[in-house]
């Protein structure tokens, strides 16, 4: 995975019940890293972390030889200053879809 030119990354909230030292309902995160589906050996890695700091991605990707990280606009990814961040177009698509739905409901 760390030899690939392009990786995808995302972090998402995870609620863990009965976690030592944390109240039920408090936020933890799963950081997801994956290769492209077009790789010879596609891979997905899930990394559980207590928080959302961009330092987690920076530490995980410290030995990554690639150039392009496909991720959303979360500012934590900007800690990877030597990489080209490729924005996720799903977020832009949502806004176009919302505008379409508003326009459609006003017809």
d(CA 18, CA 10) in angstroms, rounded, equals: 25
pTM over 0.75: yes
12-16, 28-32, 34-38, 58-62: least confident range: 12-16
Q: What is the residue-averaged pLDDT of the chain?
A: 89
Per-residue DSSP letters for the chain? -TT-SEEEEEEEEEE-TT-TTS-TT-EEEEEEEE--TTSSS--EEEEEESS--HHHHHHHTTT---SEEEE-S-GGGGG-TTSEEEEPHHHHHHHHHHHHHHHHHT-
Q: Is the pLDDT of residue 84 over 80?
A: yes
């Amino acid at each position: 995975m760390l030899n690939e030119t392009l990786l995808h990354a995302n972090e998402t909230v995870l609620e863990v019940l009965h976690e030592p030292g944390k109240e039920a309902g408090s936020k933890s995160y799963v950081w997801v890293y994956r290769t492209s589906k077009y790789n010879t050996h596609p891979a997905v890695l899930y990394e559980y972390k207590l928080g959302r700091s961009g330092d987690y991605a920076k530490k995980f990707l410290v030995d990554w030889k690639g150039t392009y990280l496909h991720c959303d606009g979360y500012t934590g990814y900007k800690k990877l200053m030597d990489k080209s961040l490729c924005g996720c177009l799903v977020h832009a698509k949502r806004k176009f879809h919302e505008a379409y739905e508003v326009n459609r409901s006003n017809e």
